Amino acid sequence: MRRYWIGLIVLAMLTPLGSLAEGTAWGEWGTDELMEVVGYIPQGIEQAGSWWTALFPDYGMNFLGEGEIPGKIGYFLSAVLGSGLIYALISLYGKMILRTNSQPVLGSKE
């Protein structure tokens, strides 16, 4: 378990490399960029755009302030929070599956 957290921390520490790249990261397109790259906007993405908003749009965290350094800190914190949230959800889901599989099926002769 500990090695997974170390791996996540190392990957999160590498996230500032993404801020060195020019343009938009692959898969982080808005609908206008998606139309330009792919040639159309999938219906599900178009529908979700009306109700889905990012928790930290453009990785910005207003409480950190404005500028380059707060922007890079926000980028790093977004990676840590996002990775941690995904890890927590997958772990919870795994525990639910294990609990379901370990319970005897009703009506079985065990």
pTM of the model: 0.57
26-60 pLDDT per residue, tens: 777 788 888 888 899 888 888 887 787 777 777 77
Domain ranges of the chain: 1-15+53-100
pLDDT of 102 reads 67
- Banded model confidence at residue 89, pLDDT cuts 50, 70, 90: very high
Whether the pLDDT of residue 110 is over 60: the answer is no
In this prediction, residue 47 carries a pLDDT of 86
Report the 10 Å Cβ neighbour count for 71: 17
* φ, ψ for residue 18, nearest 5 deg: -65, -25
